[in-house]
Amino acid sequence: MSLVTVKTAIMNVLNAVPDVTAFSYEPKSFPSLPAVTVNFVSFEQTRHSFQTMGQPMKYDITYTFELRLYVSMGTDAKTATETMDSLIDKYLAEFRKDLGLAGTVRDADITRGELTAVTDVQSPYYLNTFTLQITEEV
C-alpha cells in the first residue's frame, strides 16, 4: 500500500467518531473544536530475514503518525476534560475495532498518548497527541 492509501484508511477511522472534524493535515486554525488531525512522522523499513526460493524479498514497513485531538476549554474546564476523556476512549475503541484498517495494513496500534493544556493563547484548549504505528508487509 502507499502512504496515501494508509492515510486515507486512518481518516476513515477518525471520521467514525461523530461531532469531531477530522483533517488530513495540520491547519493554521480550526473553524470549530473538537477537531483531530493526522500527521505523518516517519517510516522504518526492515527486510525479512527469510525468503522463499524464487520469490521476491519481503519487507515490513512501519509508518508512524501523530494524531492530535483538540478540545476547547471554553469557560468550563471540567466539561472540557470530560469531553476529552470521552473522545480519547472513542478513538481508542475505533482503532481497536479495526486493527487492519479495513484490510489495508497488517497492524494499526495507538502506542502512546499525552495530554497537554494550552492556556497561554486567546482561546485555551486541551491537546492530546497519540502516536499511531501502522505496519504493512510489502
- Would residue 79 be called left, alpha or beta, if left means φ above 0 and alpha means ψ between -120 and 50 degrees? alpha
How far from the centroid of its chain's Cα atoms is residue 2's Cα? Answer: 17
Q: Which domain holds residue 71?
A: 3-24+36-47+58-137
Is residue 83, in this structure, part of any structural domain at all?
A: yes
What confidence category does residue 12 fall into, taking pLDDT thresholds of 50, 70 and 90? Answer: very high
**CATH of residue 125:** 3.30.70.1700
* Per-residue CA distances from 83 to 4, 34, 76 (Å): 30, 9, 11
Is residue 52, in this structure, part of any structural domain at all?
A: no
Is residue 120, in this structure, part of any structural domain at all?
A: yes
Q: Enter the pTM of the model.
A: 0.88
Domain total of the chain? 1
Is residue 29, in this structure, part of any structural domain at all?
A: no
Q: Are strands 21-23 and 35-47 parallel, antiparallel or unpaired?
A: parallel
Task: Tell me the C-alpha distance between 50 and 30, whole Å.
Answer: 48
Is residue 30, in this structure, part of any structural domain at all?
A: no
Tens digits of per-residue pLDDT, 66-109?
999 999 998 888 999 999 999 999 999 999 998 889 888 988 99
Is residue 129, in this structure, part of any structural domain at all?
A: yes
